[in-house]
Chain A
Amino acid sequence: MYYPFETQVTPLTNVRHKRMLPVPGEVLVRVGDRVEPTQVVARANLPGDFRILPVARLLGVPISQVKRHLRVNLGDEVQQGQIIARRRGLTARSVKSPIDGMVTASAGGRILIEAQPTTFTLRAYIYGTVNNVLERYGVVIETIGAVIQGVWGAGGESSGVLKCMVESPDELLRGKTIDPPCHGTILVGGAGLDKAAIERAQEIQVRGIVVGGLEPELISLVERLPFPVVVTEGIGTVPMSTPVFHLLATNDGRDASISGRVQSRWDVVRPEIIFPLPAETPSQAQTQPGTPLTVGTRVRMVRAPYMGIVGTVVALPTHTRRIETGVRIRGAEVDVGQRAPIFVPLANLEILR
């Protein structure tokens, strides 16, 4: 038995999205509330600026004498420039607050002044209904729609109208095709994009880009973009796999949410595109998640030379076979529409669900 990894490329499913604050805060919605992507659903105070003032050293007095020179108490609000400690006499010196804030600690001849905390706001990110409130931490938002998980991504989250820019999954998204009507949309490319497309997309202010592959020399450029980019297959020029392209193309013009956030290990986060669809009961997936690979399973190949190609498992030989590297390994025979099935190591297959 082999249990391959799974990637969601689902035309219709129940989407549950957990939205969490980075620190405990306040949840602003209730269970059952309808929310929109840009709606703030929770907020929290993040520690603001602070200053530690070495008062004893600045006044030139022993630590034990600092208290008698202080002009403020713990909990006092202070203004920038306000004197907080003063030493009188021939060698008079004073210490002023460098910021607006509050005196929150005093120890070891030092004073801590904290500025007002900054407020972090958490947005809903997708259209949906609040399914659960995780007190002080966040919410779970539920919707019915399509989900596509990417492989690599950059940038944060965004939402906009999906706009398919290419005719086929192996076409490149080129700068010259990006025109003013693309403003505010999420562009769908094919096998990749050129440098001009990145520059033009930034100029036109698109809301995101989805492509099959990304040339490695463009990675640092993409990482600096103000909008998210999702790569569905891998680094390089890789045609978008057919089910992914088909799902994106058939939903051209729909509202979508896109996230380029990625974390490949420990609390894995995958980039994604979600588009809510008119409420229907999602059909059952072909198999339950986490089931072993069997003959008939639709799989995607994840490593060169077949990266991104989708096919159907037609045989699972029990014996190992030698591959180009010289390794003998177990694999599957996969029908990819060619004359004969191809042999692919089990480790290089994933289920599209």
Chain B
Amino acid sequence: MTEKQRIGSILLADCGTVMTKAVLLEQVAGQYRFVAQGEAPTTVEYPWSDVAAGICHAVEQISEVTGRRFFDRSGNLISPELAGGQGVDVFAATVSAGQPLQVVLGGLVRDLSVASAERAAAGTYSLVKAILASDGREGGLSDEQHVRAIFDAAPDVICIAGGIEGGATTPVLELVETVTTACSLLDPDLRPRLLYAGNSRLRRQVANIVGEWAELRVADNVRPTLKEENLLSAQAELDALYMQDGVGRLPGMDTVSDWSRASLTSTARAFSRLVQYLWHLGDPLKGVLGVDVGGASTTVAAVFDGRPFLTIRGDLGTTFGGEQLLQKRGAETITRWLPEPMSSDEARGLLINKEMRPTSIQQETRELWLEQALAREAIRTTMEVARPGWKPGAAQPYPHLLPLCDTIVVSGGVLAHAPRPGQVALTVLDGLEPIGVSTLVLDAYGLAPALGSVAAVKPLAAVEALDSGCLVNLATVITPVGHAHRGDLILKMRVTYDDGSTFTVEVQYGDLEVLPLLPGQQAVLELRPLRHFDVGLGGPGKAGKRRVSGGLAGLIIDARGRPLRLPKDPKQHQQMRQWLWDVGG
């Protein structure tokens, strides 16, 4: 198809580990509009063993709504669109259903090159199975222990970093020798690939050592200087390996590739692309954040000063990984977010049952609360990995808190399908703890990654689809930062609606308040912080005006304090219940 050919309809699919979503965009009156959406369980396993079947099932739901047929009798996608309105001009897909890359990381210093390699690995769907550090932080492992660690991990790829540019050489080469020894001991069919992302002057020597023992790939040094980090090249290599190994081997992926005009993209990369696009629309001094809490993974995509940062926890979502998190960090980590007590055993049992029936949904409220509690922890633990790698610059007035974010996109089944918008808002506020003034935007139809992928095929379609309401305003959140005692007055605020009506609010420290501001409504806020509190208008005590938009959950003032401190038992659950009540959850 030439560039000049008209693209009147676009069918997008996102194949997740648990669910597959499909979306139809169509040009209506010269503008791309969201027309319909379908969702069905992903079909990688028996009895289908064909990822394309799940797409067909989701697309069938679009057919039921629109009457449009997308596949011919042989099951082939009808493309381009026929004169009668059957088929579709363009199909594009994003995928996260593949098994994450099993990665072993090697480097010289745990807090430098290895930490950078860890963040590079977190830029794609991966599981870090072992870390080989030469600085003795891991107990000073011997070569032999390193080789054993590789054996036990059975990785798909070993990523070796280390040595700043022009820096150390011998320890890096020794590490490569050890890794090569491990490869030589493995059956040729089971040998991992090697990704070298260390001191670039050693590339030739590394290649000589590795020889024929393993397939060697090279990326830019992830730590070229002590202060500088450069992850993009290594992240791109690892993402390519994920798409090749994790996604490429999914049954039926050939069919999906044949349908797709653009190359397949991992869901997280496409999501990150959308977040980058949103940054260009907002305040350049602030960041834009995207959080996608999936069934099997959690993604945090951020953009500060035009630079994208992508972090994926490939082992933690709301379906898979919860029980392991509970075992590793204790049930209290999750159950502290519940509005009523739940024993460790009950929580564990419910999480296992969900894992065994991944596509099922909660019918009882306790189980819904547990899933939302898990979503909070999934976000928080992913942020632990993400934040050290960010370079937020001026957007970060307080190093220990989240940088100022203009827009926060929230995506994922647990959030999109929550029964009340207040529940979604509270989950995100507890998980992220934003500061200042932010707009929460909900990806209600699970479109965000798809829109990111369509931006590669037809940027205009992504822009217009966004404008036509594919993302829904959830809330505008105002979070004052400062120190006070519970009950102290910290903010006076006048709200003036577009119809001229106005009212004044006085906010006390510890409050969580929701004011009415419906989707589509706008208001001007006059914010006057007291006690040197900072509402993101230029510094502590700075007052000012902001024009804000309404959302499903209204205008939220989160004066609970940052960092958020939960009361200890027995008041903990009572407090959670109160907050849930406050936001209409």
Q: Evaluate contact between A327 and B346: CB separation under 8 angstroms.
A: no
- Evaluate whether A302 and B345 lie within 8 angstroms (CB atoms) in the complex, with A1-B57, A290-B48 already known: no
Give the shortest distance, in Å, between A204 (CB) and chain B (any CB): 27
Q: Kindly state whether residue B498 has any CB partner on chain A within 8 Å.
A: no
A contact residues around B349 at 8 Å (CB): 215-216, 235-236
- Evaluate whether A3 and B345 lie within 8 angstroms (CB atoms) in the complex, with A151-B357, A235-B353, A289-B47 already known: no
Q: Evaluate contact between A235 and B352: CB separation under 8 angstroms.
A: yes
Q: Evaluate contact between A216 and B352: CB separation under 8 angstroms.
A: yes
Q: Evaluate contact between A304 and B363: CB separation under 8 angstroms.
A: yes
- Evaluate whether A265 and B143 lie within 8 angstroms (CB atoms) in the complex, with A1-B57, A302-B360, A327-B361 already known: no
Give the shortest distance, in Å, between B39 (CB) and chain A (any CB): 10
User: When each residue 57-97 of chain B gets 1 if its CB lies under 8 Å from chain A and 0 otherwise, what string results?
Assistant: 10011001000000000000000000000000000000000
Kindly state the separation between the CA atoms of A304 and B143 in the bound complex, as whole angstroms.
51
Q: Evaluate contact between A52 and B356: CB separation under 8 angstroms.
A: no
Give the shortest distance, in Å, between A224 (CB) and chain B (any CB): 15
Q: Kindly state whether residue A217 has any CB partner on chain B within 8 Å.
A: yes
Q: Evaluate contact between A217 and B359: CB separation under 8 angstroms.
A: no
Kindly state the separation between the CA atoms of A262 and B190 in the bound complex, as whole angstroms.
23
Q: Evaluate contact between A216 and B358: CB separation under 8 angstroms.
A: no
Q: Kindly state whether residue A234 has any CB partner on chain B within 8 Å.
A: yes
Q: Evaluate contact between B361 and A345: CB separation under 8 angstroms.
A: yes
Q: Evaluate contact between A290 and B420: CB separation under 8 angstroms.
A: no
Size bin of chain B's contact surface: 35 or more
- Evaluate whether A1 and B361 lie within 8 angstroms (CB atoms) in the complex, with A216-B352, A325-B419 already known: no
B contact residues around A54 at 8 Å (CB): 143
Q: Evaluate contact between A264 and B359: CB separation under 8 angstroms.
A: no
Q: Evaluate contact between A52 and B345: CB separation under 8 angstroms.
A: no
Kindly state the separation between the CA atoms of A6 and B43 in the bound complex, as whole angstroms.
11
Give the shortest distance, in Å, between B96 (CB) and chain A (any CB): 12
Kindly state the separation between the CA atoms of A247 and B41 in the bound complex, as whole angstroms.
29
Q: Kindly state whether residue B384 has any CB partner on chain A within 8 Å.
A: no
Partner of A348, one of B60, B177, B186, B360: B360
Q: Which of A303, A306, A328 has the most CB of B within 10 A?
A: A303
A contact residues around B359 at 8 Å (CB): 5, 347
Partner of A51, one of B144, B186, B365: B144
Q: Evaluate contact between A324 and B57: CB separation under 8 angstroms.
A: no
Q: Kindly state whether residue B111 has any CB partner on chain A within 8 Å.
A: no
Q: Kindly state whether residue A61 has any CB partner on chain B within 8 Å.
A: no
Q: Evaluate contact between A347 and B361: CB separation under 8 angstroms.
A: yes
Q: Kindly state whether residue B303 has any CB partner on chain A within 8 Å.
A: no
Q: Kindly state whether residue B240 has any CB partner on chain A within 8 Å.
A: no
Q: Kindly state whether residue A329 has any CB partner on chain B within 8 Å.
A: yes
Q: Evaluate contact between B367 and A304: CB separation under 8 angstroms.
A: yes
Partner of B360, one of A52, A108, A303, A326: A303
- Interface size of A in residues (CB-CB distance below 8 Å): 54
Kindly state the separation between the CA atoms of A50 and B151 in the bound complex, as whole angstroms.
11
B contact residues around A51 at 8 Å (CB): 144
Kindly state the separation between the CA atoms of A1 and B56 in the bound complex, as whole angstroms.
11
Q: Kindly state whether residue B318 has any CB partner on chain A within 8 Å.
A: no
User: When each residue 321-353 of chain A gets 1 if its CB lies under 8 Å from chain B and 0 otherwise, what string results?
Assistant: 001111111000000000000001101101000
- Evaluate whether A1 and B64 lie within 8 angstroms (CB atoms) in the complex, with A50-B144, A325-B368 already known: yes
Kindly state the separation between the CA atoms of A344 and B360 in the bound complex, as whole angstroms.
11
Q: Evaluate contact between B345 and A112: CB separation under 8 angstroms.
A: no
A contact residues around B367 at 8 Å (CB): 303-304, 325
Q: Evaluate contact between A265 and B358: CB separation under 8 angstroms.
A: yes
B contact residues around A235 at 8 Å (CB): 348-350, 352-353
Q: Kindly state whether residue B189 has any CB partner on chain A within 8 Å.
A: yes
Give the shortest distance, in Å, between A330 (CB) and chain B (any CB): 10
Q: Evaluate contact between B189 and A24: CB separation under 8 angstroms.
A: yes
Q: Evaluate contact between A52 and B144: CB separation under 8 angstroms.
A: yes
Give the shortest distance, in Å, between B340 (CB) and chain A (any CB): 14
Q: Kindly state whether residue B503 has any CB partner on chain A within 8 Å.
A: no
Within 8 A of A (CB), among B142-165: 142-144, 147, 151
Partner of B345, one of A217, A268, A350: A217
Partner of A265, one of B181, B296, B348: B296
B contact residues around A278 at 8 Å (CB): none
- Subset of 14 A-B contacts with CB under 8 Å: A3-B48, A52-B143, A52-B178, A108-B173, A112-B181, A235-B348, A264-B358, A302-B357, A303-B361, A303-B367, A306-B363, A326-B365, A326-B420, A327-B361
5 more CB-based (< 8 A) A-B contacts, given A23-B190, A350-B357: A3-B43, A6-B47, A110-B177, A151-B356, A216-B352
